[in-house]
């Protein structure tokens, strides 16, 4: 019993303090292993009422791949100061019904933490129309932290690495102007 209470306290404190959590969803409510086949995704969140709360899957918001209502997810929390993994835990995914009391309370918390929102005070109405609000509720205890790197190869993309600038550009940008 004491170990379970300590695990819950660790999950809550680490998740509250971290700006990002890494989430890997299983995509379905009845899949076998949580997160099987899905890459983990860094997501911003708010800890509210005993769960990590997220908003996404709408225009201008973070994608929430593999997170289905009633499914499970594996959440890995990093240290805010060092960036290393602190704790990993399994969560039940609960999608909040738009406009419900729980949705309104959660959106009020999320709204305060959303950075660079394009629509300010209209954000909750846009979230109600176009986005999903999810709660990741911790299930039993913590998971063992994996050994080694979990880095994945970058997804294929037409984007290329920037080439060196031509030698003349610094002279053109930083030359001293003659005063008349």
Is pLDDT at 102 greater than 70 in this prediction? Answer: yes
- Confidence category of residue 28, pLDDT binned at 50, 70, 90: low
SS (HEC) of the chain: CHHHHHHHHHHHHHHHHCCEEEEEECCCCCCCCCCCCCCCEEEECEEECCEEEEEECCCCCCCCCCCCCCCEEEEEEECCCCCCEEEEEEEEEEECCCCCHHHHHHHHHHHHHCCCCCCHHHHHHHHHHHCEEEEEEEEEEEECCCCCCCCCCCCCCCCCCCCCCCCHHHHHHHCCCCCC
> Which has more confidence, 176 or 133?
133
Q: Can you tell me the mean pLDDT for 97-107?
A: 94
> Class for domain 2-146, per CATH?
mainly beta
The CA-to-CA distance between both ends of the chain, in Å, stands at 82
Provide φ and ψ at 117, rounded to 5°: -70, 135
Average pLDDT for the chain: 85
- Confidence category of residue 33, pLDDT binned at 50, 70, 90: very low
- Confidence category of residue 173, pLDDT binned at 50, 70, 90: confident
Q: Can you tell me the mean pLDDT for 118-145?
A: 91
| Whole-number Å distance between alpha carbons of 148 and 71 | 27
Sequence spans of domains, the chain = 2-146
| Whole-number Å distance between alpha carbons of 130 and 55 | 10
Is pLDDT at 106 greater than 90 in this prediction? Answer: yes
- Confidence category of residue 30, pLDDT binned at 50, 70, 90: very low
Q: Which residues contact 12 (CB under 8 A, 6 or more apart)?
A: 47, 50
| Digit-coded pLDDT (tens) for 35-59 | 455 678 899 999 999 999 999 998 8
Q: Can you tell me the mean pLDDT for 131-156?
A: 84
């Amino acid at each position: 019993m004491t170990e379970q209470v300590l695990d819950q306290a660790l999950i809550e404190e680490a998740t509250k303090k971290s700006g990002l959590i890494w989430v890997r969803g299983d995509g379905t409510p009845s899949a076998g292993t949580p997160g099987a086949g899905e890459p983990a995704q860094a997501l911003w969140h708010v800890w509210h009422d005993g769960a990590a709360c997220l908003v996404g899957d709408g225009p201008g918001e973070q994608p929430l791949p593999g997170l289905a209502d009633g499914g499970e997810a594996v959440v890995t929390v990093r240290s805010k100061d060092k960036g290393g993994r602190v704790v990993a835990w399994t969560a039940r995914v609960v999608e909040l019904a738009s406009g419900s009391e729980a949705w309104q309370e959660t959106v009020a918390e999320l709204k305060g933490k959303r950075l660079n929102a394009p629509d300010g005070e209209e954000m909750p109405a846009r979230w109600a129309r176009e986005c999903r609000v999810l709660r990741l509720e911790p299930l039993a205890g913590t998971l063992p932290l994996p050994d080694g790197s979990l880095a994945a190869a970058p997804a294929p993309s037409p984007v290329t690495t920037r080439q060196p600038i031509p030698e003349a550009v610094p002279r053109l940008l930083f030359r001293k102007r003659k005063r008349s």
